[in-house]
Chains A and B, each alone.
Chain A
Amino acid sequence: MDLKEKLVSSFMAFENQIDIDSPVHDVRSEAIKTFEQEGFPTKKQEAWKYTSLKSIINQDYSVFPKQENALEYRDIKKYFIHDIDSYKIVFIDGKYSSHLSQTTHEGFDVCLMSAALNKPKYRLVIENYFNKAATKDSLSSLNTAFASEGAFIHIKKNKLVEKPIQILHFSSGDESALMLQPRNLVVVDENAHVQIIERHQSLTDNPVLTNSVTEIFANKRAIIDYYKVQNDRETASLIDNTFISQKQESHCSVHTFSFGGKLTRNNLNFFQNGERIDSTLKGVTIIGNKQHVDHNTLVHHIEPNCESHQDYKGIFGDNATGVFNGRVIVNKEAQKTNAFQSNNNILISDKASINTKPQLEIFADDVKCSHGCTIGQLDESAMFYMRSRGIPEKEAKALLMYAFSNNVLSSVKIPEIKQRITKIIANKLGVNIGFDL
């Protein structure tokens, strides 16, 4: 039985396990139908031309998580940003781990999707927001069909959440192959502010496939800073589907740091439903071996006077492959739009490759839209300059690559994250640079 059949046939059993009267029952039923019709995307589809799921969907994944698996904090501490006080929502093999988490309901909700889906007091929020931003493509639909657990974050009006929220998904390796489908919902009300860090981490080399959906709603003047740390083992794959719906004058940024994993696909979608919205999408990708990272972004400018800023940097070594597909749509009504996009890549091996494609669809006539992409090698004259000052080749390369990624790191607002990312980069490049950028 292939994975698609397995998932479709598991659906009935899954629905019976949980409340059939749930308000999302119809949504789920609809979603599994979509997935059944469309199946997993193939390279024949334009949006998947350079990314093949073949090698990751041929595993016999366990699709239902078992009971909570105990992990000790000291064993996984290094995956947390542990030097700052934060809220934590931690999952092990898809199950909530209460003893590793620190949630809250005081003034705002940082809790579980399962609670939001099942408790009457959240019914209105679920009705208003659940599956309202996600597109109805096959992978998001697959996630919707099995949506049962993940993070639920609801920040009330005027609330400034001082501590960042960390969402961590661990896979323990107890299953020989595991498929996870976390579902996160983030609702930030008027004038509220929140910072979120998300990470998926496999603890063994057993194959893991995560098909995650995160819906984020930024209401009027809300500010959301979201950081995705992707530094997983080379047996773990991640399809991250993130949908951000913004209302007027809201500011949202998503930083994606892709440093590891077998296959990583980031479907990052911004919808600007209001005026004077600011959307920021930034990413640093540093991969080697046979790793593959695909950034597939969409910014949909629907209303006038909005801005979007995209800046993705990639460094590819060995046989690594990368894809950047940046789509920007500017509706006819969206006059005075400022949309910027840039994608710069360095190939440090002859066998590495990157496919980069800007895709601008502009229907308004009074807009500023720019895009640029570059693919190059490390600057030889800069290398000689640094080496002539006594900096060895390896360190000089590392320094250049740091410098190359620096633009993206400079907009990270949490210093501990910046330090952590800098350390990961140094680690990736196998050097110890004696300073933080």
Chain B
Amino acid sequence: MLKINNLHASVEDKNILKGINLEVKPGEVHAIMGPNGSGKSTLASVIAGKEEYEVQEGEILLENENIDDLAAEERAHKGVFLSFQYPVEIPGVSVTNFMKTAINETRKAKGLEEMPANEMLKLIREKSELLEIDRKFLSRSLNEGFSGGEKKRNEIFQMAMLEPKLAILDETDSGLDIDALRIVANGVNKLKSKDNAVIVITHYQRLLDYIVPDYVHVLYNGRIVKSGGKELAHELEEKGYDWIKEEINA
């Protein structure tokens, strides 16, 4: 599904990613953990195609196709989805209208007709129930005045609507109370299949109790310095990141 080879990326001449290698196969869940400032969010943004980041070396392959030169929307059309750590407020555009536009633009890019209005409504109803989202919520301006939990639920709602092949959840657990966390994780788990993959970026192990990873990677100083199974997350939760830093520096 996703193969990252020796990826180096920088923003404003500052090197952030310094040689990432990662392979994610269909049906897998990968967790990327690491201390603040290690490059986790940068990795997510680079995969999603944020233009401020410059890839200096290496490549990102999605289903064996190099996506380095593709615009963010083209990557989205190919099935990449990024759940934002800080979803952007867009006053004046309702959640519903935003989703309609996103879905129909994606369909257009694939040469499909626009989705009929009744089908769209049905889909919205079905997916909003999955995330326990109130109908009234859907006519509000996108993310404007949403609580932290509402924003994150809305991100996963969008994921549910777009049905991506590769979903990257960037700190989706931050700002969530336990109920919201459960709803969000439940949503992600229901959307999981043998054909899609999920990368969970998180600082804490808490979310991984609900979205159970097949692999856990530790990102430190722009590199993946340790990989393991789900038990690695527990170890990090108990011991923190210092022992890893020491291991590297030794």
Contact = CB atoms under 8 A, between A and B. Distances in A.
B73 A400 contact: no
Interface in B94-145: 97-98, 100-106, 109, 114, 141
Contacts of A392: 71, 73, 105, 109
A385 B90 contact: yes
Nearest to B77: A390
Interface string B79-101: 01110100111111100011011
Do most interface residues of chain A lie in helix, strand or loop, or is the interface mixed?
helix
Interface stretch (A158-166, A211-219, A352-360, A402-410): A402-410
Contacts of B71: 387, 392-393
A399 interface: yes
A403 B90 contact: yes
Given A388-B76, A391-B102, A434-B114, A407 B87 contact: no
Chain A contact-residue range equals 20 to 34
Interface residues of B, number: 36
Contact of B158 (A381, A389, A433, A435): A389
Nearest to B103: A390
A329 interface: no
Given A387-B72, A388-B48, A433 B101 contact: yes
A382 interface: yes
Contact of A390 (B76, B88, B92, B93): B76
A385 B158 contact: no
Interface of B: 48-52, 71-73, 75-77, 80-82, 84, 87-93, 97-98, 100-106, 109, 114, 141, 158, 162
A389 B90 contact: no
Contacts of B51: 384
B49 A388 contact: yes
Contacts of A391: 73, 101-102, 105
A275 interface: no
Contacts of B91: 403, 406
B73 A390 contact: yes
Interface in A403-434: 403-407, 433-434
Contact of B90 (A386, A388, A395, A435): A386
Identify the interface centre among A380, A390, A407: most chain B CB within 10 Å of its CB. A390
A403 B92 contact: yes
A211 to B, nearest CB: 35
Interface string A364-389: 00000000000000011110111111
Given A388-B72, A391-B73, A406 B92 contact: yes
Given A384-B50, A384-B51, A388-B76, A395 B92 contact: no
The 8 closest A-B pairs by CB, nearest first: A403-B92, A406-B92, A390-B76, A387-B72, A390-B106, A385-B88, A389-B102, A387-B73
Given A379-B88, A385-B84, A388-B49, A403 B76 contact: no
A404 B92 contact: yes
B98 to A, nearest CB: 7
A437 interface: yes
B220 to A, nearest CB: 26
A93 B89 CA distance: 48
Nearest to B91: A403
7 contacts: A386-B102, A388-B72, A388-B80, A390-B102, A392-B73, A396-B73, A437-B97
A399 B101 contact: yes
A389 B162 contact: yes
